[in-house]
Structure 1
Amino acid sequence: MADAKPTADNTAQDDLAAEWAAALEQQETAHEVMAPAEQVSPAPFTNFTPTGNGGAGNDINMILDIPVQLTVELGRTRIPIKHILQLAQGSVVELDAMAGEPMDVLVNGYLIAQGEVVVVNDKFGIRLTDIVTPSERMRRLSRGM
C-alpha cells in the first residue's frame, strides 16, 4: 500500500481549521467567563479517527469524503407570492425565530445541532451549543416518513 501524502486541499483545510481554532480560543479568552453549564469547547474540523472491530474502520472510510449540504437556518416564514414580488432592497421579512435563539444546523435538510453565530477574521461561523442525539435523529426521521 502506498504512503498517503497530504494534498494541497488537505493542507489548506488543516490551515483553515487551525486558524478557526486559534480565533475561537482568542474569542473565548476575550469574553467574560461563562457559567460552567454554558461552556462549549471549540472543536471545529475535528479529525475523525474511526475505531471499531475488524474492518469497521475501512467501511466508514468509504463514506468520509462524500460531500453533504450543511445549512445554518436563521428562521423561516410563509408569505404569499404577491408579497415576494413586492420585496425590494431594504425590505424586512419577519421570521419565526426570536432574536438570541440558537440557530438550527442541518445536514442534507435534517437537524443535527443548534448553535450561535461567531465572527472570526470578518467571516461568520457557528459555535455548536447542542448536538441532536442519534436516537432523537432517528425518531425525527421515522416521524417524517
Structure 2
Amino acid sequence: MSNDNTTPLDEDVADAWAAALEEQKDNEPAAGANTAAQTDTVRPLNPEDFSGSRPETTAEINLNMVLDVPVTLSMEIGRTRIPIRNLLQLNQGSVVELNRLAGEPLDVLVNGTLIAHGEVVVVNEKFGIRLTDVISPSERVRKLR
C-alpha cells in the first residue's frame, strides 16, 4: 500500500480507519435482523417525555456545564408587516404603527422563544423590564408542538 507520495503517518491513519471500520462491521447486527430488544426499546420521543422528568441523583447532571452557555435575551414591543416600497420610504421622523396597544406588556424572548411578559421601567437612566408574568416550563413545551 506504499506509494511514493505516502508517508508512514498516512499509512498509520489508513490502518486505524480500516481497523475501526472492521470493528464496526463486527458490532453491527446482520442486515434484516431485528431483535425483540431493539423493537421494545426504540420509540420516538415526545416533548411530554421531558416535562416532569427529574434525574435520579444530582451526580448524573452537572449544571455547571450549561450555566456559561450564552443565550440571546430580547424584548419585543410589537411587530408589523409593511411592503418593501413603504420600508424604503422610511426616514428620520417616520412613525411605524405596531400591532400592540399602548400599555400592553412586552414579550420577553430567549433565543426567539417566549418566556415571559413585562413592562418597561427606567433604572439609573437606562431602560429595563419588570417581569409581570413568567411562562411555565410545561406551557413552553406545550407551545413547541
If the TM-score is normalised by the length of the shorter chain, which range does it land in?
A: 0.5 to 0.7
- Residue equivalent to 1:55: 59
Q: 1:90 aligns with which of 83, 88, 93?
A: 93
- 2:68 corresponds to 1:65: yes
TM-score (norm: length of structure 2): 0.60
Query: 1:141 & 1:112 partners in 2: Cα distance?
Result: 12
Give the RMSD, CA atoms, in angstroms: 1.3
Cα distance, 1:61 vs structure 2: 1.1
Greater Cα radius of gyration, structure 1 or 2 = 2
Identity of aligned residues (%): 66
Query: 1:85 & 1:113 partners in 2: Cα distance?
Result: 33
- 2:107 corresponds to 1:107: no
Query: Following superposition, which runs of at least 4 residues in structure 1 exceed 6 angstroms of deviation?
Result: none
- Structure 2: gaps of 5 or more residues: 1-55
TM-score (norm: length of structure 1): 0.60
Cα distance, 1:116 vs structure 2: 0.3
Equivalent position SS for 1:55? helix
- Residue equivalent to 1:138: 141
Query: 1:101 & 1:59 partners in 2: Cα distance?
Result: 39
Query: 1:109 & 1:118 partners in 2: Cα distance?
Result: 22
Cα distance, 1:122 vs structure 2: 0.7
- Structure 1: gaps of 5 or more residues: 1-51
